[in-house]
Amino acid sequence: MKIVKRILLIIFLAGFTILGYFYFGTYSEGVRSGIVIKVSKKGFLFKTYEGQLNLMTFGTSKSPNLVAENFDFSISSHEKEIIKILEEVSLSGERVSLHYKEKFVRFPWRGDTKYMIYKVERFHTP
């Protein structure tokens, strides 16, 4: 019986450690720039903030036309200042840079994407 308890304790601790690693760990970090075209609060059970950034990239090397490429992201609900800034720039059409952390796993209470925004840089045009 003592061995069974130890094995269960080891399994529990290993599972807890792995879950913590995937929850708090970051797969990658980066910056994407463009125009925020959507910020919304959504969800049925878990209300999360979601957004979309138009990256305004160029097409093939032979075509000078802009291609509408979008970047979907999530914002933690406790990041009230970031949410406020993103709502403002989505209405003004101002270009911004979004600093994000890509998580290993998407959890439903975090958002619809693995890309979590933690910083916004605004580019004020004269």
Q: What percent of the chain has pLDDT over 70?
A: 88
Burial of 94 (0-12, 13-18, 19+ CB in 10 A): middle
CA dist 86 and 75 (Å) reads 10
Residue 2 falls inside a structural domain: no
Residue 99 falls inside a structural domain: yes
Give the global pTM: 0.78
Statement: residue 110 has pLDDT above 90: no
Q: Give me the number of domains the chain comprises.
A: 1
> One-letter amino acid identity for 92?
S
Statement: residue 4 has pLDDT above 80: yes
Residue 4 falls inside a structural domain: no
Listed range (29-43, 66-80, 92-106) with the worst mean pLDDT: 66-80
Top mean pLDDT of 5-9, 15-19, 90-94, 97-101 is at 97-101
Instruction: Please provide the distance, in angstroms rounded to a whole number, between the alpha carbons at the two ends of the chain.
Output: 74
Q: What percent of the chain has pLDDT over 90?
A: 50
Q: Which domain holds residue 94?
A: 27-122
Residue 85 falls inside a structural domain: yes
Residue 10 falls inside a structural domain: no
Q: What's the CATH number where 107 sits? A: 2.40.50.140
Q: Give the tens place of pLDDT for each residue, 26-65.
A: 899 999 999 999 999 988 888 889 999 998 765 555 556 6
